[in-house]
Structure 1
């Protein structure tokens, strides 16, 4: 990989069907190699030649390779890894991204860099999103907290510090309310490009979060200062659980003790991971994109190995 010379957005490009019909985002990983999502440029999406638009202008794509080659009939999503490699003429001086050799752990704050038509300026414009890693999700990595606007599919997801790419935006969870979504992790991209990865260094397993950690994360959400909101939270959790597995924490007028009781009831449930997933799903509906929701997703990933459950 060649180290990019400019700002974090410089390797980013936008893709068009023909010269102008906006398809989505991508980024250069080498002077003549662009990565994006397969669902952005598959044959059902594109009718003409694909063009790439970046800091060095526009150029026509020479070839497109998709992984996997097609979306299964009837499938709602393009399956993993949902990646495409586009070959363009090689031009020296091209800003290219540096790929990380390790995955971003749960709780890492990331930034996505691509293009959308959702900025205050007219037309296709550079756009970005702040996101937090929650954990594995159906072959992808779940991202929370940030807004993944339509058009950011295929964008590079960059880790803080070294600014290396740790994933490719797959899409948003909900086109109507685009908070959070998924990315393809960098290991799958490196495997596709036949690049070696750094072997994982064994680390001591972190014990699952206790009720105090769960309660502290819940306490950071201002809505739960209201006792009625906390009772609504319990009701929503129970709506998602079988009748014989509902939680029944006693009420408390003080927020933190009450939240500790709610968290403890989930942890002590006959199926604690089911109850914790119901807890996080309920909080997401009640608290939207509040930062602490990402903390809860990270606790869930560490405790149960995944998050709760549309392409941008």
Structure 2
């Protein structure tokens, strides 16, 4: 189960109890701090955490609330647990967002299940849409939540920051849709630094313009060409500020992810500049390249010449 550096699964973990029974998913939010759902680990101690750097036994766990209130089917809010493990350097950690996910946002869940086409516990994912409040949780729709994804991180598009935690599927027999624990409840039980400041509105407001111009460039129709574009952008950025957009076979969706990752970068102007330079190398003669250069200059000032 190889997880590469930069893989969105990198902070994710899977949990087993003392009899090596698979319990569910979680993710690192800091050195030695793992978040999962309380119902995943309640009464299942000891718990072993399996992640990108191997396996280790959890040292302690704080459940919120400490136990179910009664015989209800679902564990009460916030249904979160924070596990402490040995603090090891170099471990990938997830970054929490600063704002809740708006209604209609498509979120990506990254965790582990036994429901893939490969044997045993394997990395798994789901694409889910925020539908709205549902009791003390938030309803998710239009996606599959397989058993084992409880406790998984839910990432917002573009930045890849965590905006919630998968709670449960709505139907044990047909894993479509379910619920998430929202960001506010998550921040109520973990004390970690906030995500970097959001991109200035003058850049965010131009996202559609960037995507529309990129979509007109025939050289970006192929998925491999778009992956090459991401590699070229990252070659021009410091390693710690490289972009990691989610891939997609649909050109428009993939380009939207690439632009979003640039806009949400710690240095969006540098990322957009690298994007324009990479596109110029790929399709320098296209009119859209000149228009992208103008957008760059208007958003960030300076940059490449207006006459691409």
TM-score, structure 1 normalization: 0.60
Question: In the alignment, what sits opposite 1:112?
Answer: 109
The CA distance in 1 between the partners of 2:56 and 2:194, in whole Å, is 31
Counterpart position of 1:234: none
Partner of 2:27: 27
Equivalent residues of 1:190, 1:196 under 8 A apart: no
Equivalence for 1:153: 150
Q: Does 2:67 align with 1:70?
A: yes
Match of 2:8 in 1: 8
Residue 86 in structure 1 maps to residue 83 in structure 2: yes
Output the CA distance in 2 between the equivalents of 1:164 and 1:128: 15
1:113 and 1:197 mapped to 2: Cα distance?
20
The whole-number CA distance in structure 1 between the counterparts of 2:18 and 2:31 is: 21
Relative to structure 1, is the Cα distance of residues 177 and 162 closer, same or farther in structure 2, using a 3 angstrom cutoff?
same
Confirm or deny: 8 A CA contact 2:140 2:180 kept in the other structure. yes
1:193 aligns with 2:170: no
Residue equivalent to 2:119: 122
Q: CA deviation at 1:74?
A: 1.6
Counterpart among 174, 179, 182 of residue 176 in structure 2: 179
Q: For 2:168 and 2:47, how far apart are their aligned partners in 1?
A: 20
Alpha-carbon distance in structure 2 between the residues aligned to 1:159 and 1:119: 23
Judge conservation of contact 2:95–2:194 (CA < 8 Å) in 1: no
CA RMSD of the aligned region, Å?
Answer: 1.8
2:224 counterpart residue number: none
Q: 1:97 aligns with which of 89, 94, 97?
A: 94
- Partner Cα separation in structure 2 for residue 143 and residue 131 of structure 1: 6
Task: Identify unmatched segments of 5+ residues in structure 2.
Answer: 196-308
Q: CA deviation at 1:49?
A: 1.3
User: Aligned-pair distance for 1:5?
Assistant: 6.1
Give the alignment of 1:255-294 within 5 angstroms.
none
Q: 1:167 aligns with which of 164, 167, 192?
A: 164
Stretches of 4+ aligned residues off by more than 4 angstroms: 195-198
Residues matched between the structures, number: 193
The structure-2 alpha-carbon separation of the partners of 1:194 and 1:103, relative to structure 1 and needing over 3 Å to count, comes to same
Following superposition, the deviation at residue 20 of structure 1 comes to: 2.4
Q: CA deviation at 1:196?
A: 7.8
CA distance in 1, matches of 2:21, 2:84: 19
State the secondary structure of the residue aligned to 2:27.
strand
Higher RCO structure, 1 or 2 (CA under 8 Å, sep 6+): 1
In structure 1, the gaps of 5 or more residues are 199-312
